[in-house]
C-alpha cells in the first residue's frame, strides 16, 4: 500500500483545510516545491496535489506551482482541482503530471470521463468526495444526490485507473479514515481505491492493510504529516513491513465506522 503525501495549493501556498472549508485553512509552508522535495527525499512513491483555487474557480489556477513541483521531483505526481474539460486535462499531462483527478465532471459529464479514459489510458483518476454518502462537487461547495458507490461503479465501467475516496467529514480532522465506507466502495468495484481523509497516525495506515485484499492500494496523508503526528519515513517502513494477513479487522478500533 502506497503512503501518498498531499500538497494542497491555495494562492501558491501549501495549506490544509478543515472538512473542506476554505474559511478554515491553515498555511503550512509558502514553498510547495521545497515541501514536495522533502516528501520525495523521505521515500514517497507518489505525490498528490490539489489545486484548491482551481476547484473553486472551475479551472486550473496553480499551474505554475504544479509545473515547478513536477520539474523538481523524479517521482510521479497526480493532480486534481478544477479539471472540467479536455483542454485542462491535456495541459496538465503536457506539464509532466502522471495522472489527473476528475471530480465534478464525473457527476455532471460522465461521458467526458469515458472519452478521456480512452484518449489517456491509465492517466485518468476519479476523486469521489462524499458527504454523508452523497458526492460533493465544485470544490466541495455543493452536494449532489448521487451515491458514492453508484458513481464508483459507473466510473470503474468507464475505465478509470483508480478511485480516490474522501470522506469530507473526516478530511483535516485527524479522526481516522472511514473504513466502513471504504470497505463498501472497494467491494463494489474492481479498480484500485485510494483512501483519503482523517488519517492521524501510523496505526490508522496499518488498519487500512486489512482492506488491501479488497483493492485499497494507497492512502493519502495530509495534515498528520504537517503537524508531525505521522513521520513519512516511519509510516512507509511500517506499512512496507506489515501484511494485511497479520492485521485483525478491528485493528485501530477508533477508525471503524
Q: What is the DSSP string of 4-61?
A: EEEEEEETTEEEEEETTEEEEEEEEES-HHHHHHHHHHTT-S-EEEEEHHHHHHTS--
CA 209 to mean position of chain CA atoms: 17
pLDDT for 173? 57
- CATH number for the domain formed by residue range(s) 2-255: 3.20.20.70
Stretches in the chain below the pLDDT threshold 50: 244-245, 247-257
CB 140 within 8 A of CB 168: yes
How many Cβ atoms from other residues are within 10 Å of residue 71's Cβ? Answer: 11
* Separation of CA 97 from chain center: 15
Q: What is the pLDDT of residue 171?
A: 58
d(C-alpha 158, C-alpha 219), whole Å = 23
> pLDDT tens-digit profile of 5-30?
999 999 888 887 766 566 677 778 88
Give me the residue spans of the domains in the chain: 2-255
pLDDT of 250 reads: 44
**Residues 49, 80: contact at Cβ < 8 Å?**
yes
* The Cα angle at residue 131 between residues 15 and 88, in degrees rounded to 5: 55
Q: How many CB atoms lie within 10 A of CB 38?
A: 16
pLDDT of residue 21: 67
C-alpha separations of 224 from 62, 202, 232, 236 in Å: 23, 10, 10, 14
pLDDT score, position 137 = 79
Residues with active-site annotation: 8, 129
Q: What is the pLDDT of residue 43?
A: 97
Amino acid at each position: 500500500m502506497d503512503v501518498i503525501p498531499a500538497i494542497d495549493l491555495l494562492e501558491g501556498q501549501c495549506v490544509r483545510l478543515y472538512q473542506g472549508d476554505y474559511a478554515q485553512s491553515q498555511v503550512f509552508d509558502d514553498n510547495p516545491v521545497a515541501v514536495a522535495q522533502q516528501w520525495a527525499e523521505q521515500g514517497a512513491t507518489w505525490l498528490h496535489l490539489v489545486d484548491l483555487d482551481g476547484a473553486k474557480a472551475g479551472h486550473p489556477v496553480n499551474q505554475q506551482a504544479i509545473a515547478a513541483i513536477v520539474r523538481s521531483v523524479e517521482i510521479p505526481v497526480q493532480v486534481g482541482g478544477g479539471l472540467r474539460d479536455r483542454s485542462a486535462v491535456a495541459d496538465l499531462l503536457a506539464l509532466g503530471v502522471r495522472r489527473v483527478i476528475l471530480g465534478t465532471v464525473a457527476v455532471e459529464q460522465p461521458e467526458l470521463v469515458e472519452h478521456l479514459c480512452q484518449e489517456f489510458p491509465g492517466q485518468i483518476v476519479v476523486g469521489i468526495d462524499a458527504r454523508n454518502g452523497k458526492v460533493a462537487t465544485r470544490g466541495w461547495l455543493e452536494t449532489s444526490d448521487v451515491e458514492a458507490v453508484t458513481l464508483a461503479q459507473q466510473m470503474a465501467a468507464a475505465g478509470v485507473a483508480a478511485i480516490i475516496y474522501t470522506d469530507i467529514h473526516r478530511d483535516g480532522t485527524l479522526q481516522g479514515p472511514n473504513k466502513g465506507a471504504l470497505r463498501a466502495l472497494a467491494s463494489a468495484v474492481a479498480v484500485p481505491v485510494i483512501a483519503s481523509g482523517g488519517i492521524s497516525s501510523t496505526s490508522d495506515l496499518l488498519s487500512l492493510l486489512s482492506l488491501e485484499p479488497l483493492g485499497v492500494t494507497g492512502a493519502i496523508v495530509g495534515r498528520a504529516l504537517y503537524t508531525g503526528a505521522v513521520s513519512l519515513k516511519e509510516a512507509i517502513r511500517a506499512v512496507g513491513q506489515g501484511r494485511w494477513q497479520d492485521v485483525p479487522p478491528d485493528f485501530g478500533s477508533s477508525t471503524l465506522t
